[in-house]
A = this chain, B = another copy of it.
Amino acid sequence: MGIVLGQNQYGKAENRVVRIYRDSARHVIRDLNVSTALRGDFSAAYTTGDQAHVLPTDTQKNTAYAYAKKVGIEQIEHYALALGRHFVDDTGPVEGARIEVDEYAWERIIVGGQPHDHSFVRKGQEIRTTTVTIDGKGQDQSAHVVSGLRDLVMLKSTGSEFAGFLTDDYTTLPETHDRVMATSLHVRWRYTTTDHDWGAAYDEIRQTLVEQFASVHSLALQQTLFEMGTGVLEAQSEVAEVKLSAPNIHHFAYDLQRFGLDNDNEVFHVDDRPYGLIQATVQRDDAPDAGRAWETSWSF
């Protein structure tokens, strides 16, 4: 029996990179949180402390900022692909890279009815994300792009039921045919391409997600998620797979009868914890292999 090093990766997390495009008076802003992680044969760093193969995380940080200028940040997928390929292609011991980017949206301040040239307010809804995974060198290199969003908080005040469920000795929940349904959506979708109109695709997918949430008469959050995923796949031929994670933010009708007041789904207490949590994948039955595209930081 021996003790060995297993899977590992290292990098610089949460570089807060802001890029301003100021080629004209009408500035454009890109506001990112960038995390890089490298994979390869770094075993000597672990077993003997020999750093000869280790590109410092400080260097990775410098590179993340330098690439914001050198290749720019037209779209986060484009920037992350360039950064990941650089680490793998230009650093001998590096055999794989994972680049995660969060983007915070801004909108122009309206002054006198006109969008201002260089003043912005944080849009503040959902955060746009991408995770690019590069594996292997030269001809054998693969690249995966998984984009997504999170913290998209939605609520529908009717059009949601929950009934006909399985019961056991611990079941006390009554059936309901009219409830508030609310969630903070976390979605990621896997592209089958590395060359795409990323910004347009993002806007379309976001719109599909919110439209399906609004339009589907929901018999369960599960059903709503499936219709969201299906809607995305039907509209986006370059997407192979959609993963959705949705807390059920419980809105409990408050018992006002005790005070002589009706409450026909009008007054609710929003509870923090516990919350239901539904997680599902909707995919094409011929989806190509995902490689390491879905590996999270922790399951590496």
A138 within 8 A of B: no
A189 within 8 A of B: no
Minimum Cβ distance to chain B for residue A107 (Å): 9
Name A280's closest neighbour in chain B (CB-CB).
B8
Tell me the bound Cα distance from A247 to B11 in angstroms: 10
Q: Mark A193-230, 1 if CB is under 8 A from B, else 0.
A: 00000000000000100110111001110110110011
19 residue pairs A–B, Cβ–Cβ below 8 Å:
A1-B286, A6-B282, A7-B281, A10-B277, A16-B269, A18-B267, A47-B223, A49-B220, A51-B164, A54-B222, A58-B172, A59-B172, A66-B256, A90-B168, A109-B213, A118-B156, A120-B155, A170-B259, A295-B299
Name A223's closest neighbour in chain B (CB-CB).
B49
Q: Which of A17-33 contact B (CB under 8 A)?
A: 17-22, 27, 29, 31
Copies in the complex: 4
Q: How large is the interface on A (under 10, 10 to 19, 20 to 34, 35 or more residues)?
A: 35 or more
Name A59's closest neighbour in chain B (CB-CB).
B171
Taking CB atoms, residues of chain B closer than 8 Å to A10 are 222, 276-279
Name A11's closest neighbour in chain B (CB-CB).
B277
The answer to whether A118 and B222 touch across the interface, beta carbons within 8 angstroms, is no
Minimum Cβ distance to chain B for residue A129 (Å): 12
Tell me the bound Cα distance from A118 to B120 in angstroms: 30
A140 within 8 A of B: no
